[in-house]
Amino acid sequence: MSVRQALGRGLQLGRALLLRWAARPGPAWGWRRPVSEGRRCGPRIPVAAGRWRPLLARACGVAGPGGRAVTLAFGLGLGLVQEKQAEGLRAATACQEIQAIFTQKSKRWPEPLDTRRWRGFRLEEYLIGQPVGKGCSAAVYEAALPALPRKLQVAEGPGLPPERVPPAAPAGGEREPAPAAAPFPLAIKMMWNISAGSSSEAIFRTMGRELVPASPVAVAGEYGAAAHRSRGGGPKRLAPHPNIIRVLRAFTSSVPLLPGALADYPDVLPPRLHPDGLGHGRTLFLVMKNYPCTLRQYLHENTPSPRLATVMTLQLLEGVDHLVRQGVSHRDLKSDNVLVESDADGCPWLVITDFGCCLADERVGLQLPFTSWYVDRGGNGCLMAPEVSTARPGPRTVIDYSKADVWAVGALAYEIFGLPNPFYGRGGAPLESRSYREAQLPTLPRSVPLDARRLVRSLLQREASKRPSARVAANVLHLSLWGGRPLVLERLKLDDMTGWLLQQSAATLLADRLAEKSCVETKMKMLFLANLEYEALTQAALLLSSWRAAPGPDVPLSH
């Protein structure tokens, strides 16, 4: 709308409103409800009889050029406000329509297991290979569903071939075509069961948080029945997200003697496998996709470029945003709990895993009552957000976890951008989340983009209210990466923002359609557009604008 159109519309509104106020009689001072005109009824309007009516009449232009100027200014303001509201409505509507399109496209989640032939709820169905990792509560092994003959019964014990080749079919058996060496696309996580008992219900109550990222099929077996029998119904279940691990199957089974068990974790084995073992005879097994390495291992072998490191940090923010939207807090984010695989171009794709310490309670959401020191505040004390580490128990104390994971992402960003994590103390005295000052945070290298440097410091602000949310923080990096310059000008123009979003949508749809497998950056753009929200996007644009206008690249600014 031009200034002339805005002025004309505003003059009509302003003059009609002022004349209406001036023409109505009313009490000396006070509030009155205007008399209805047909079916129209206005708001409650303060009126001062006698004293205010001449003033309003003069302002309407009936008492000289000065009054006309007041009316002109008032009308212009009303017109511009109305146009700004209409522009905002157009932008919000465009965001909703774009979000709907890309949300529908992102719902595709392929099932890696062929459920027509394999149910996958028995350990005996899997070919188990070598160990790939060990934590404080579980061991992880590579696994596969071997291409067995159609008429061959599955063996009673899990396969443990030394050469990691599936067994050959007997003579006369019908065998599916298979490669010479069996790949191991799956990973099996065997939990260590010391205190949960051996019944499915007891194991579910104790280890149920491990099933938060489980698919509906994964818990359709015995765990579905155990959850149904449980009074509380168990922890929440996460909807699928490309930056969150997906548990494909979950079941209990007798603990087997797997490769490396006697050397790596003899104390947690059951007594039948090790005389001094303290474990129960049955435990929980989780089947997931097998990823090549953890984030810690990846960063030990690779030094990502500043842009690539920004994309990696963005993926963590997208994963955390998904958790927050569904009322879940991971509470144990660290480089060992992030898995990595690379696309065809070598760009890393990050996946958050290990939900054993998460907060996923339907009753409390992200607001955990902290009534005593016995309440579990989560794992990894080094990367515990200040509002969590400094909390003191009391009858009315509540810990808000809505921005705790995003603080941990800020700390992990130092590792991703090539510096030691300041809260681990490698190369110097560690900072403590309970007592650090923001001025003590190390400065990221100048090669790191300015927006990323500012964002990391903003994520590590001590006061949670000053930190951007995971959604706003992710949008900041999206705009910085994908050239959202029209959105971060000194004065945000919403129509320009709508045009830029439409261009990005068309380009992303075309790139996804032309490529056989979308690259990481295309997938991230699709996530950005699937999570598009007008308010969060404008907040990110305004935050970027304030940073670029402020002096000093590393001064943390409040959100």
| 355/333 Cα distance (integer angstroms) | 9
Cβ neighbours of residue 139 closer than 8 Å, sequence gap 6 or more: 131, 133, 189, 190, 192, 258, 260, 261, 264, 265
142 contacts 122 by C-beta, under 8 angstroms: no
C-alpha triplet 387, 419, 446: angle, nearest 5° = 105
Q: Which of 152-156, 243-247, 453-457 has the lowest mean pLDDT?
A: 152-156
- Judged by DSSP in three states, 124 sits in helix
Q: Let me know if domain 308-549 sits in CATH 1.10.510.10.
A: yes
Catalytic residue among 114, 321, 332, 405: 332
Q: Where do the H-state alpha helices sit in 284-375?
A: 295-301, 306-325
Query: Mean pLDDT throughout 143-153?
Result: 58
Report helix, strand or coil for 121: coil
Residues 6+ apart with CB under 8 A from 127: 143, 144, 145, 146, 158, 159, 161, 166, 182, 184
In angstroms, rounded to a whole number, what is the distance separating the alpha carbons of residues 341 and 298?
A: 9
What is the average per-residue pLDDT within 46-61? 50
Taking residues 257-286, report their average pLDDT: 93
Q: How far apart are CA 375 and CA 391, in angstroms?
A: 11
Predicted confidence (pLDDT) at residue 343 exceeds the cutoff of 90: no
Q: Which fold has domain 123-149+157-165+181-290?
A: Phosphorylase Kinase; domain 1 (3.30.200)
Residue ranges covered by each domain of the chain: 3-31+44-87, 123-149+157-165+181-290, 308-549
> How far apart are the C-alpha atoms of 164 and 309, rounded to whole Å?
35
Closest to 348 (Cα-Cα) out of 426, 300, 293: 293
Q: Which two tokens stand for residue 344?
A: 């065809």
Does 14 score more than 70 pLDDT?
no
Residue 479 corresponds to which tokens in the numbers above? 């705009």
**pLDDT of amino acid 516:** 60
Please report where in the chains the tokens 């009155």 appear, as a residue.
32
Torsional class of 380: left (φ above 0), alpha (ψ -120 to 50), beta (otherwise): left
* pLDDT, tens digit (0-9, with 9 covering 90-100), for 373-391: 999 999 888 899 999 999 9
Strand-strand pairing, 293-294 and 348-352: unpaired
Rounded to an integer, the average pLDDT of 221-243 is 72
- The Cβ-side half-sphere exposure at 90, using a 13 Å CA radius, reads 15
According to the model, what pLDDT value does residue 312 have?
Answer: 97
Instruction: Kindly indicate the confidence band of residue 225, based on its pLDDT and cuts at 50, 70 and 90.
Output: low
Per-residue model confidence (pLDDT) at position 177: 44
Place of tokens 């596969």: 144
Same fold, 123-149+157-165+181-290 and 308-549: no
pLDDT single digits (tens) 270-279:
999 999 999 9
Gap between the Cα atoms of 468 and 321, Å rounded: 11
For 533, the 3-state DSSP assignment is: coil
Other CB atoms within 10 A of residue 446 CB = 11
Give residue 262's pLDDT.
Answer: 94
Joined tokens for residue 348: 């890393």
Q: Is residue 332 flagged as an active site residue? A: yes
SS3 of the chain: helix, strand, coil, percent, to 5: 40, 10, 45
**Chain-centroid distance, C-alpha 274:** 42
Phi/psi at 340 (5° precision): -135, 135
Task: Note the pTM of the prediction, 2 decimals.
Answer: 0.78
First-residue to last-residue Cα distance in the chain: 31
Tracing tokens 């905002």 back to the chain, one arrives at 88
Compute the distance between CA of residue 359 and CA of residue 361 in angstroms, rounded to an integer: 6
pLDDT tens digits, 469-483: 999 999 999 999 987
Torsion of CA 239, 242, 247, 249, to 10 degrees: 90
Ranking 49-63, 103-117, 233-247, 523-537 by mean pLDDT, the lowest is: 49-63
Is pLDDT above 70 for 223? no
3 state DSSP class of 253: strand
